[in-house]
Amino acid sequence: MLPQLHSLPERVSADAAVESVRKAFLSKGWQAAHFSVSGAELSRPFFVYFVFDAFLETQTARGKIVSDTMRGNMALSLPSLSFDRRASDAIAENFAELVPDSSEAAVPGLKGFTSEKLELICRLKSAAELGAEEKNVVVSAITLVLLPVWSVGFSFQGAASRALVSAFDGKILPGFFVPERVKGAFETASETVSGMSSAGGFAGSASEFFSEAAGVVSGRKSLARAFGDDFFVVLLVIAVMVLFAVFFILGI
């Protein structure tokens, strides 16, 4: 007889999953014009989740000795019989939230399996993955799990791809990476000028600028150390300050 099938509840909508991916881009400084996020498709991949205890042996002149012990968890995908670390971490993190599921008939590749056969497969696969002998691996707490996941399509830098979002808690699963957007000199200068538009912003920027400038004049700092490598921004700030001074003198 097989262990009871469980699943994580589906608490996150398709729109919420799409929004999670969109916010991931925005949080890295990308604007809507730089990427596009399309719809989400729900799937419920099936995993055999279990806990393993193993120890490694080393051959010495006096015989084999235990050189290392390990304990952890794994999620084995069926029917591919491959390990999935993302699924393992997601299940382990939310194990207490698993609820019984009655859709065993919809699980592919489960027919013909018994608890004993699953235990043997988990032990053999774990031994091969860990580099241990089968007799030195013990598996326990075998649980059949359906993991609801949203597959969200997106286009970025001319390439189309998909991000996996947990339908349980809305977290984007590992494997999705968004690089930090590096702002150009002109954009940085524009933001600097915009920040100086208010009296407080100008006063603060001017105070910081003159403080760094004083360090350069006194020889305590080099120009690169004081202002960084973006000399265009420094020159533009100087020009804006001179312009403000001229307006002040002329009373404009």
Question: In the chain, where are the structural domains located?
Answer: 5-166, 185-250
Omega before residue 108 within 30° of 0, cis: no
Please report which helix (H) or strand (E) contains residue 142, including its range. strand 137-146
Indicate the residue type of 219.
G
Task: Tell whether the model's pLDDT for residue 86 goes beyond 70.
Answer: yes
- CA 208 to mean position of chain CA atoms: 36
Give the CA angle between residues 214, 219, 222 to the nearest 5°. 85
Average of per-residue pLDDT across 217-240:
58
Q: Please write the tens of the pLDDT for every residue from 54-64.
A: 887 666 777 67
Task: Tell whether the model's pLDDT for residue 145 goes beyond 70.
Answer: yes
Task: Tell whether the model's pLDDT for residue 198 goes beyond 70.
Answer: no
Which pLDDT belongs to residue 181? Answer: 84
Work out the angle between the directed axes of helices 199-217 and 231-250 (0-180°, nearest 10): 120
Nearest to 171, CA basis, from 97, 80, 79, 82: 97
Q: Do residues 162 and 154 make contact, with C-beta atoms less than 8 angstroms apart?
A: yes
**Percent of the chain whose pLDDT exceeds 70:** 70
pTM of the predicted protein model? 0.66
Q: Which residues of 151-184 are buried (b: 16+ CB within 10 A; e: fewer)?
A: ebbbeeeeeeebbbbbbbeeebbeebebeeeeee
Q: Do residues 188 and 182 make contact, with C-beta atoms less than 8 angstroms apart?
A: no
Check residues 119 and 68 and name the one with the higher pLDDT. 119
Q: Please write the tens of the pLDDT for every residue from 17-55.
A: 999 999 999 999 998 889 999 889 999 888 999 999 888
Nearest to 230, CA basis, from 167, 198, 162, 183: 183
**How far is the C-alpha of 216 from the C-alpha of 205, rounded, in Å?**
17
**How far is the C-alpha of 30 from the C-alpha of 214, rounded, in Å?**
36
Check residues 126 and 61 and name the one with the higher pLDDT. 126
23 to 27, 40, 50, 139, 171: CA distances (angstroms): 6, 15, 34, 40, 12
Task: Tell whether the model's pLDDT for residue 210 goes beyond 70.
Answer: no
